[in-house]
Structure 1
Amino acid sequence: MAKVEVKELLDCGVHFGHLTRKWDPNMAPYIYMERNGIHIINLYKTAAKLDEACKALSKIAASGRKILFVATKKQAKDIVADKANKVNMPYITERWPGGMLTNFVTIRKAVKKMASIDRMKKDGTFNTLSKKERLQVDRQRAKLEKNLGSIVDMTRLPGALFVVDIKREHIAIKEAQKLNIPIFAMVDTNSDPRKIDYVIPSNDDASKSITKILEHTTNAVAEGLAERQAEKAAKVAAVESEAKAKEAKEAKEAKKEEE
């Protein structure tokens, strides 16, 4: 896993916090100084925390659990969708559906509804509907796609949540806390880090900063997934080897009996 360099964080403006008057005192341990009325984040602490988060994310991915990425703010949503997609992880970039975690059964029902509409279109049932009914079904499908698009394949609760801007995504944070789901997050100087399991002190407003943090975290997820694949391949090879050895032994014994 590539070690996080302070210079790359600096180049992407990860150190720029919020106006000092908007700060949360609980972020004090991560603040280096104040400059022109703005808090500057200690990037040595960011690098250490990011390394720690990456190791944990890699382990979760290697275990086969999904990591749900959450970012609904304008400057983060496209970045998160792109990065999460590349590692085949679910993400929410539109409005957080209330009860997404705490009422997961209902959310799964909505996902099943979306799947049933897709089946209707495949088997021709959709074409038997009236024009008005087809329009209603299409609208319903579009709405479900907008809210639940990337979580269609999420058959169980995620193993972790990764959040950009914990103030904005406070409902998601509360739901994850209730269910003891580990929370990883980019935390700016205006937020309370105490509710987060893996704090990454960073500028959660600038697209360059968001891209840099997501780059490292999703690379760690990719490494965990590769490790899982390698373990699976090794197990398959071991089973095949054992089967061949058994086959050879049985053939040898059969030959002896013939003699």
Structure 2
Amino acid sequence: MSPYIYGERNGIHIIDVLQTLLCLQQSVNYLVQAGKDNKSVLFVGTKKQFANIIEVYAKKANAYYVNQRWLGGMLTNWSTMQTCIENLKLLDKQEASGVFDSLTKKEASLLIKRQLKLKKYFGGIQEMKKIPDIVIIVGQIREINAVKECNKLGIRTITLLDTNCDPTLTEFFIPANDDSIRSVDLILNELSEAIVRGKLNLV
């Protein structure tokens, strides 16, 4: 990442903001075209402080998201994940139709607990019919399993990279402080806007 580091202050690397803007523009251009082509996009970021903004910007772009925990095989073992999603949909349907009300308190409690657990991990991909065309990743080191699965399947990735990350593991990257809520918020806003513009053909 040295070409993208402006300097060092008190032992902390400072990212070159100009490089961030250039890389961000490349990703934006790519996502505008992806939006036009109706490509499916998955946002991934499981740091607790980013859970809300990951969900907000994914929904804004009519995309999918994983913001709690990346389960091993989430993409490479998609058929198993689909079974979990179908179980979640069935529980949602049973709840809506009043099935839970006809059960004993203990039985209903067990089903609700199961439903909440499935929703926690699969709620953001509940409507995803197939593996995504593009994955946007916040935090390469933390989400390394997602990175590896995408690379194994040939899924294109856009990754926010901090100074200790590896740019060779992703097609597109944006040098940024992946611990900063403000930084992540600004970048995800631009990326989600790009997808929306592409879908609406507003360039």
How much has 1:75 moved relative to structure 2?
2.4
Distance of aligned partners of 1:162 and 1:121 in 2 relative to their CA distance in 1, 3 Å threshold: same
8 Å Cα contact 2:159/2:172 also seen in 1: yes
| Paired position in structure 1 for 2:176 | 202
- Letter matched to residue 40 of structure 1: I
In 2, the alpha carbon distance for the partners of 1:48 and 1:111 equals 38
How much has 1:96 moved relative to structure 2?
0.7
In 2, the alpha carbon distance for the partners of 1:131 and 1:95 equals 29
How much has 1:103 moved relative to structure 2?
0.6
- 5+ residue gaps in structure 1? 1-26, 229-259
Task: Give the secondary structure class of the aligned counterpart of 2:174.
Answer: strand
How much has 1:60 moved relative to structure 2?
1.6
Determine if the alignment matches structure 1 residue 191 to structure 2 residue 129. no
Determine if the alignment matches structure 1 residue 169 to structure 2 residue 166. no
| Paired position in structure 2 for 1:35 | 9
In 2, the alpha carbon distance for the partners of 1:121 and 1:204 equals 38
| Paired position in structure 2 for 1:88 | 62
> Larger % of helix: which?
1
- 5+ residue gaps in structure 2? none
Which has the larger displacement, 140-149 or 62-71?
62-71
In 2, the alpha carbon distance for the partners of 1:109 and 1:93 equals 20
Q: 1:57 aligns with which of 17, 31, 34?
A: 31
TM norm structure 1: 0.75
How much has 1:125 moved relative to structure 2?
3.2
| Paired position in structure 1 for 2:40 | 66
TM norm structure 2: 0.94
Q: 1:158 aligns with which of 107, 125, 132?
A: 132
> Matches of residues 92-131 of structure 1 in structure 2 within 5 Å?
92-131=66-105
Deviations 1:44-80 (A, max 9, x none): 1111110000111122222222211011112222221
In 2, the alpha carbon distance for the partners of 1:60 and 1:92 equals 20
Q: RMSD of aligned C-alpha atoms?
A: 1.4
Determine if the alignment matches structure 1 residue 145 to structure 2 residue 114. no
Distance of aligned partners of 1:210 and 1:106 in 2 relative to their CA distance in 1, 3 Å threshold: same
How much has 1:123 moved relative to structure 2?
3.3
Distance of aligned partners of 1:184 and 1:112 in 2 relative to their CA distance in 1, 3 Å threshold: same
